[in-house]
Amino acid sequence: MIRTLMGWLGKAIAVAIALVLLYQVWIFAHVLWWIDHNPKSTAFMAAGLERQQDKKPGAELRHKWVPYDRISINLKRAIVAAEDGKFLSHEGFDVEGIEAAVKKNLKKGKLVAGGSTISQQLAKNLFLTGERSFIRKGQEAVITLMIEATWSKRRILEVYLNVIEWGNGIYGAEAAARRYYKTSAAKLSRNQAARMAAMVPNPRWYENNRSSRAYQRRVAVINRYMGYARVPR
């Protein structure tokens, strides 16, 4: 009886491992395809569309892909200054940022901060959910390694700027520039770029709360440091 149970347990574990490996292969195949093909949708977009259609059946996302050269240098610098100042120098992970996040999580007794780089945020946006868990962070790390090993920094930033959320149903720099400033992503001014970058941590809230003091402080900080941000050419 015990041998039979152990045998079934071993088979179950083997099947589970095989499924996990197949999932990693599926993800890596997408990562390789997206080296020179643009993602048409992401996990975050799919979740956003579902959320929108729960309220209004037939709702559609606002999203338009634009190439890297048609995104303002102001926005590139603002995003790097706001989200990942070491973007060009790290290989996917900001060790100091992770250490600070770990200390904060231990202090709070739960996962409240991730110390995520742009590469990690992109991995999450493309494949995962907004759920906070150690399992999800582990998968995010694996995907980040895949992306950093196969994509250039320019490609990482290009995809990131084209897929991240910028409000309810608004994805990518072009749709956001049109929504907030009635202009293209290519023509964003320094201040407009700083204001858009300041929305990234909580875009659905900031969409209607851009007069808050916290938001204004964040815009000011980004404006101060974006001139020093190094971005891919």
How high is the mean pLDDT in each 10-residue block of the chain (233 residues)? 70 82 95 97 95 91 97 98 95 77 50 73 92 86 97 98 97 98 98 98 94 96 95 95
Residue 116: inside a domain: yes
Residue 233: inside a domain: no
Domain with residue 179: its CATH number is 1.10.3810.10
The enclosing H or E element of 171 equals: strand 170-171
pLDDT of residue 125: 96
Domain count, the chain: 2
| Residue closest to 20 by CA, chosen among 168, 153, 135, 162 | 135
Q: Can you give the residue range of the structural domain that contains 145? A: 34-228
pLDDT of residue 106: 47
Q: How many helices (H) and strands (E) does the chain have?
A: 11, 2
pTM: 0.89
The residues, any chain, with a CB within 8 Å of residue 48's CB and separated by 6 or more, are 61, 165, 168, 169, 171
Q: Does one domain contain both 19 and 46?
A: no
pLDDT of residue 140: 95
The enclosing H or E element of 73 equals: helix 73-83
Residue 80: inside a domain: yes
How many other CB atoms sit within 10 Å of the CB of residue 93?
18
| Residue closest to 198 by CA, chosen among 185, 184, 214 | 214
